[in-house]
A and B are shown apart, each in its own frame.
Chain A
Amino acid sequence: EVQLLESGGGLVQPGGSLRLSCAASGFTFSDYAMTWVRQAPGKGLEWVSAISGSGGTTYYADSVKGRFTISRDNSKNTLYLQMNSLRAEDTAVYYCAKPISPLYAFDIWGQGTMVTVSS
């Protein structure tokens, strides 16, 4: 079964850091680009970042560029999101998602991990 499992969320103070992980199983992880999508409480979906299968190409939303870093370890089938200089507006459920390559339609989603930025 294809599965994504996020972890690493929690409560952090403004200006703090957090690293999210997304463990993948059931597919050849390195064959797929991966993405992070977030959803603030009561709000819509917001695309955050994406990374190519090899890890050599990355993309970021303007709202997180320079603060967040996406990476992956294909030997561990794991996707990461390092979040620095966190702000209250980063409070959201963070999902990792796998695309139907090469269309970047996301057919598999994790259950999400909640990040709360508050003092």
Chain B
Amino acid sequence: SYVLTQPPSVSVAPGQTARITCGGNNIGSKSVHWYQQKPGQAPVLVVYDDSDRPSGIPERFSGSNSGNTATLTISRVEAGDEADYYCQVWDSSSDHPGVFGGGTKLTVL
């Protein structure tokens, strides 16, 4: 089955740019979605279809996807961005198509 690999943690100072990667075999050929989850809360979709933002998500959140790596970029990081972030794809060629990455804890220093 398809595997998505994320770094366990990323740290960034306020106002700087955070980049969270999601690795997968030829992931550039798939549509990648990103979720933010804060403690005790349900996940929130922040980027879908590689680089689109749902309504209400700040422009500071952006995404890209090419080759074997997709990236979530958070510009001008704020304290409130501290959360776990998960990438996800739907592998339609598989019998079990839903796939999440292991998650990345973003710490704002």
Contacts and interface: CB of A to CB of B under 8 A. Distances in A.
Nearest to B100: A45
A44 B100 contact: yes
A50 B100 contact: no
A106 B47 CA distance: 10
Interface in A83-119: 95, 100, 103-107, 109-112
A104 B88 CA distance: 9
Contacts of B84: 44
A103 B49 contact: yes
Max chain B C-beta neighbours (<10 A), residue from A48, A60, A105? A105
A35 B33 contact: no
Nearest to A46: B100
Interface residues of B, number: 25
Interface of B: 1, 31, 33, 35, 37, 42-45, 48-49, 54, 84, 86, 88, 90, 95-103
Q: Secondary structure of the A side of the interface? A: strand
Given A62-B1, A103-B90, A105-B33, A45 B45 contact: no
Contact of A107 (B31, B54, B90): B54
Interface string A7-36: 000000000000000000000000000010
Contacts of A46: 100
B42 A50 contact: no
Interface string A45-65: 111101000000001111001
